[in-house]
Amino acid sequence: MNSPHFSGELAKPAKAFVYAEMQVSVPFENAPWRDRNPVLKTQPGLLAKTWLSGMRTNTLGGFYAFDSVETAWAYAVDVVPKTAIALQAAPYTRVFDASQSREANQYLSSAYFG
């Protein structure tokens, strides 16, 4: 999913990030990521996703980079709840404005900030 964490490169600077976690217990090899990736690639504004799997809990989640705060909010408010319903899971979601932490992340050479 073009994750800079795994050598992907963003097509444009990230303006917002979303952290989302589904409160389920699914070993990652059984998770529906193969079905979700093609759907995610059509998500407006999504630049990259880093899939996450909870240690000892097998919760499913991700760290998403978006091209704007508006597209990040739309994903968090419109898509995450529908995904949670489909998975019969309780979601935990946060949206972050990338501009507030840009300087600190550039200092640390974050791949998300170039």
pLDDT digits (tens, 9 = 90+) for 41-82: 999 999 999 999 999 999 999 999 999 999 999 999 999 999
Closest CA to 83 of 12, 17, 21: 21
- What are the structural domains, with CATH classification, of the chain? 4-107 (3.30.70.100)
Closest CA to 72 of 44, 106, 40, 39: 44
Per-residue pLDDT tens over the stretch 74-85: 999 999 999 999
pTM here?
0.92
Tell me the residue ranges of DSSP E strands in 1-114.
16-23, 46-53, 60-66, 90-97
Q: Facing residues of 92 across strands? A: 21
